[in-house]
Amino acid sequence: MGDPFHSKKPIGALLIFISLILLAVFVAGCSPSGSTSTASVQASTAGAGTSSAQAEASARPQPDSTVSGANLPGAAANGAGVDSAATAPGASPDSLSGASQGAQPSGRVHQAGEPIVILMYHHFTERGLWRNNDAVVYIDDFAAQMAYLHREGYNVVPLQRVWDYAQKGAPLPYRPVAITFDDGYESNYTLAYPILKKYGYPFTLFPVAGWLLEQNPPHAYDPAKGDLLDWRQIDEMVASGLCDVQSHTFDLHDKVDGRSLLVAPRINPDTGLQETPEEMRARIASDLRMAKETIENRYGRPVYALAYPYGVYDAQVMEIMDELGHGLGLCMGRSQHRDSMKAVIRLGVIQGDGVEGFARNLKRWSWTPKGK
């Protein structure tokens, strides 16, 4: 019998046996079980996304619909003003980054035609209070929304810079966002301001100047109430370098027969007579001048912007703005003059948005000044 280690036949048989084993392992590794599992996950995710999108859509009011909560002074109509097509529904905030801060091109700036976001908030409260009132945002949602802006590489700029860009072509950073607060609620100072300071985010207040006291009576802040700011609190925020103050009228944030006093004639309660067109124009001009002078005399800065109560304005208001030097007029989610800087739409943030709706609406936003 020959030496088996030097026999050619056994060696050939061994090589064939090893090849068959390797082939079997390769075939098993390419089985369709993995792709079947992936398809199941994708189908499940798509189903969840559809449900989330439906829930978000049902919670959001139509633009310019009136929010609930008559107990809030000046509770205003609100709308998202979303114009462009939706992103994939149901995506979580972490998956909606698109271009995170780390992924942005080095030194990139805002380009003509890219959107500029002006956020609009009103009042804040603790979770569980002011339920189903879209004008009131939960403060933990606001904190998460500000964290989202920071994480995803949005650049929060003063509203003045948006105005300078529209008027003079002054450069803006990539993904510019301006933050505005209407009416002048104490929650802007007590709840929102500490969060804005954390990130160094500038913001613009639009208080109804005639509503505010120099200093409120001593009291403990109550998130269940809609208390207003006082001028001392605004002074502190302005002194920080983050806060700018613009006009929301002096005392025209009210309605007569369902119409804003900024565009409707007032009825004399003693005589029951309606004011004449001349009287109405004089009243509106006087009010806007008083608000402008009150703010400018206190802070020594020009008042260039007017946020319309309820987002409503007309041609006469725009004429008076020209006379007073108000170049920028801010609406809500809808505007009659989309190409005018006196009718700029804002992205209203509502209670039902949370972070996911907030992120989705940012990605749908499409406003930019005409020709910019």
Domains and CATH numbers, the chain: 33-364 (3.20.20.370)
Model confidence at 266, in pLDDT bands (50, 70, 90)?
very high
Model confidence at 42, in pLDDT bands (50, 70, 90)?
very low
- Evaluate if residue 190 carries a pLDDT over 50: yes
Model confidence at 112, in pLDDT bands (50, 70, 90)?
confident
Q: What's the rounded Cα separation, in Å, for the pair 224 and 130?
A: 7
* DSSP strands (E only) in the chain: 65-66, 77-78, 117-121, 123-125, 136-138, 155-156, 176-183, 203-207, 243-245, 255-256, 259-260, 305-307, 328-330, 347-348
- Evaluate if residue 167 carries a pLDDT over 60: yes
Average pLDDT over residues 110-116: 87
Model confidence at 366, in pLDDT bands (50, 70, 90)?
confident
Percent of the chain whose pLDDT exceeds 70: 70
Segment (H or E) for 344 = none
Per the prediction, the chain carries an average pLDDT of 78
Model confidence at 43, in pLDDT bands (50, 70, 90)?
very low
Average pLDDT over residues 312-321: 95
Query: What integer pLDDT is reported at residue 37 of this predicted model?
Result: 32
Query: What backbone phi and psi angles, to 5 degrees, belong to 305?
Result: -125, 145
CB–CB of 117/145 below 8 Å?
no
Q: What's the rounded Cα separation, in Å, for the pair 211 and 233?
A: 14
Strand partners, 124: 137
Amino acid occupying residue 295? I
Average pLDDT over residues 143-156: 96
Ranges 11-15, 106-110, 278-282, most confident = 278-282
pLDDT digits (tens, 9 = 90+) for 207-250: 999 999 999 999 999 999 999 999 999 999 999 999 999 999 99
Average pLDDT over residues 139-152: 97
Query: What integer pLDDT is reported at residue 17 of this predicted model?
Result: 52
Average pLDDT over residues 300-320: 96
Would you state the structure tokens that stand for residue 21, as one six-digit string?
């084993």
Contacts of 174 (CB under 8 A, 6+ apart): 104, 108, 109, 110, 153, 155
Q: Which residue did the predictor score with more confidence, 357 or 9?
A: 357
Identify the sign of the CA torsion 193, 124, 356, 308: negative
